Amino acid sequence: MANGNPEANIALLIDADNASPDTLDTALTVLAELGTVNIRRVYGNWAKTALKGWATMTHSRALDPQQQFDVTKGKSATDMKMTIDAMDLLMRGHIQGFGIMSSDSDFMPLAMRIRQEGLPVYGFGTAKTPESFRQACTRFIDVSAVKEAAEAAEAAGPGETDKAAKAPPVDAALVEILGQAVRASKRDERGFASLSEVGQRASARSSFDARNYGFARLGDLIASLSNFTTEKRDGAIYVKRVR
Percent of the chain with pLDDT over 70: 89
Question: Domain range for residue 127?
Answer: 9-152
Cβ atoms of 100 and 137 within 8 Å: the answer is yes
Cβ atoms of 141 and 118 within 8 Å: the answer is no
Residue 151 has pLDDT above 80, yes or no: no
Q: Are residues 121 and 213 in the same domain?
A: no
Among candidate residues 152, 186, 216, the one where a domain is terminated: 152
- State how beta strands 97-101 and 121-125 pair: parallel
Q: What is the CATH number of the domain that holds 88?
A: 3.40.50.1010
Q: How many domains does the chain have?
A: 2
CA distance 81 to 102: 14
Among candidate residues 124, 152, 180, the one where a domain is terminated: 152
The residue ranking higher by pLDDT, 88 or 145, is: 88
Q: What is the CATH number of the domain that holds 200?
A: 3.30.420.610
Rg (CA), the chain: 19
Q: Are residues 138 and 209 in the same domain?
A: no
Lowest mean pLDDT among 21-35, 125-139, 165-179, 192-206: 165-179
CA distance 98 to 209: 16
3-class SS of residue 175: helix
Q: Are residues 33 and 72 in the same domain?
A: yes
Q: Are residues 134 and 86 in the same domain?
A: yes
Query: Once rounded to an integer, what is the mean pLDDT over residues 209-220?
Result: 88
C-alpha dihedral, 195 to 199 to 201 to 204, nearest 10°: 180
Q: Are residues 138 and 183 in the same domain?
A: no
Q: Output the CA angle 76-78-83, nearest 5 degrees.
A: 135
How far, in whole angstroms, is CA 74 from its chain's centroid? Answer: 28
Cβ atoms of 61 and 40 within 8 Å: the answer is yes
Q: Are residues 19 and 107 in the same domain?
A: yes
Q: Output the CA angle 51-52-57, nearest 5 degrees.
A: 100
Q: How much is the pLDDT for 164? A: 44
- State how beta strands 228-233 and 139-142 pair: unpaired
Cα maximum dimension of the chain: 64
CA distance 42 to 66: 6
